[in-house]
Amino acid sequence: MALKTKRAVCQEILYEVYGGMPPSDARITERFVLTKLNDQQATHTLLNAYNNSNLEGITYADDIFYVTYNQIPLVDDAMTGYRTATLPALPSSLPSQRAFDIIPTSPVCDAQRTMIKMMERHEVQRMHSLPPVKKVFGFVNNGKIYFYINPKMFPLLELNSINLTIATPDGGMDSFLNMPADAVASAKKNIIADLRNSLMIPQDIKNDGVEIKEPQA
């Protein structure tokens, strides 16, 4: 099964909900279905990560849930002195910042792809009290990633951009739905049931809009 765009999946859901092509005055729009689909995607990403954790002891989501954004600009933050990058999409709520994989774009850094370590916001002050280490530490705040670079250890203050891979449910109508086929089927089933319930549409209808009735004895 080829990857589908979110628009295609939303249209399939609406077709199922209305038992055929949605009417021109349909109460449910593709945009509304997209919000439901993104919610389901976030839930399945987290479930997948915890299933992996149970098997291997490390909490991470499968690669298909990730999307890569290239050449994200880095700018200086005058208030903190850190370098910052604006998040291009909302991450899933994986623990220990495992929703992010950050790759420097500078040739100087290519051999040190593991030098950037994400941490939680509350750990920032502790990093200032520790001896310098050969790491760049990043944390998320106000929709940005802040990078603490020790100038004595790294000539990286000239780094102008990063490549950022995120486990994210975000994305517009024409983005691909980055989920496995079984997760897509489960998400569609949940959304269809929820929308039919909100419209008080019977669950047992065919695509032609004809209600299925039990045979008479």
3-state secondary structure the chain: CCCCEHHHHHHHHHHHHHCCCCCCCCCCCHHHHHHHHHHHHHHHHHHHHHHHHHHHCCCCCCHHHEEEEEEEECEECCCCCCEEEECCCCCCCCHHHCCEEEEECCHHHHHHCCCEEECCHHHHHHHHHCCCCCCEEEEEECCEEEEECCCCCCCCCCCCEEEEEEECCCCCCCCECCCCHHHHHHHHHHHHHHHHHHHCCCCCECCCCCECCCCCC
Provide the pLDDT for residue 149. Answer: 74
- Tell which wins on pLDDT, 15 or 127: 15
pLDDT bucket at 155, cuts 50 / 70 / 90 = low
Lowest mean pLDDT among 4-18, 59-73, 180-194: 59-73
Provide the pLDDT for residue 69. Answer: 92
pTM of the model: 0.76
Residue 48 CA: distances (Å) to CA of 71, 103, 156, 166: 28, 24, 35, 15
Provide the pLDDT for residue 25. Answer: 87
Inform me whether the pLDDT recorded for 76 exceeds 70: yes
- Return the top range by mean pLDDT from 17-26, 33-42, 78-87, 100-109: 33-42
Q: Measured between alpha carbons, how far is 164 from 62 in angstroms, rounded to an integer?
A: 16
Residues 27-45, mean pLDDT to the nearest whole number: 94
Beta partners for residue 165, in sequence order: 68, 101
pLDDT bucket at 54, cuts 50 / 70 / 90 = confident
